[in-house]
A and B are shown apart, each in its own frame.
Chain A
Amino acid sequence: EAGVAQSPRYKIIEKRQSVAFWCNPISGHATLYWYQQILGQGPKLLIQFQNNGVVDDSQLPKDRFSAERLKGVDSTLKIQPAKLEDSAVYLCASSPLGFYETQYFGPGTRLLVL
């Protein structure tokens, strides 16, 4: 069974630029999560999708971050414009149904904003 795929693995941009990350969850998993992990901290949930609907985006900075999950499969997370404090690892995870099941994490995208 293929795991959660993410790309790119690394990205370096300058502040005020835009960036997009892509995630392909495990086939058949209805729930997809995006997390932000700042160095030295635990992951913070940004957004949770159930199929192609948003379940929770309460911690997503909506003035600059956006995410979509078209057709209930893969997802993109965009930052526009980026700030220095957005430097972090962005993790994507999926689970068959929701929080009561094991989440499977991708390898993450490491973003550095200069």
Chain B
Amino acid sequence: GIQVEQSPPDLILQEGANSTLRCNFSDSVNNLQWFHQNPWGQLINLFYIPSGTKQNGRLSATTVATERYSLLYISSSQTTDSGVYFCAALSNDYKLSFGAGTTVTVRA
């Protein structure tokens, strides 16, 4: 399957700060998704974005498929943004691979 690498592994933010999370993938993809796992373990789809840019409130994501990376932007971070952010890549033979995640801690 596709190798998915996320960086940084950990991120500590002050409330109100902006941040960028990166996801690199090793091969061309059918689909690229971003998820948020809250401190209680609930996993939520944020975006599915095989290419281009999407925005949802304070979050936005950009995937540059030709260069095999995707970025997740968090603006004006809030304590509720804390948790682990995963990206997952769907290969052309429909295998879904997750990265190891970026743990975000937002401090009040």
- Asked whether B94 lies within 8 Å of A42 as measured between CB atoms, the reply is no
* B41 contacts A89, C-beta separation under 8 Å: yes
- Chain A 20-35 interface residues, beta-carbon cutoff 8 Å to B: none
Do the beta carbons of B41 and A99 come within 8 Å of each other?
no
Which residues of chain B (17-47) have a CB below 8 Å from chain A? 30-31, 40-45
* In the complex, chain B residues whose CB is within 8 Å of the CB of A58: 95
Judged by a CB distance under 8 angstroms, whether B48 is at the interface is yes
Q: Enumerate chain A residues within 8 angstroms of B88, measured Cβ to Cβ.
A: 42-43
Chain A residues closer than 8 Å to B96, beta-carbon distance: 45, 99
Q: Which of B42, B94, B100, B101 contacts A105 (CB 8 A)?
A: B42
Instruction: Convert A58-75 into 0s and 1s, putting 1 for each residue whose CB lies closer than 8 angstroms to a CB of B.
Output: 100000000000000000
Q: Are A102 and B100 CB-contacts (below 8 A) given A56-B95, A58-B95?
A: no
Residue pair B86, A107 in contact (C-beta under 8 Å): no
From B48, B86, B94, A102 is in contact (CB under 8 Å) with B48
Bound form: Cα–Cα A44–B43 in Å: 13
Asked if B48 and A42 make an inter-chain contact with CB atoms under 8 angstroms apart, the answer reads no
Given A99-B90, A100-B31, answer yes or no on A105-B44 (Cβ-Cβ < 8 Å).
yes
Contact of A42 among B42, B45, B86 (CB under 8 A): B86
- Considering only residues 82-114 of chain A, those with a C-beta below 8 Å from chain B are 89, 91, 93, 99-105, 107-108
B contact residues vs A (CB 8 Å cutoff): 4, 30-31, 40-45, 48, 86, 88, 90, 94-96, 98-101
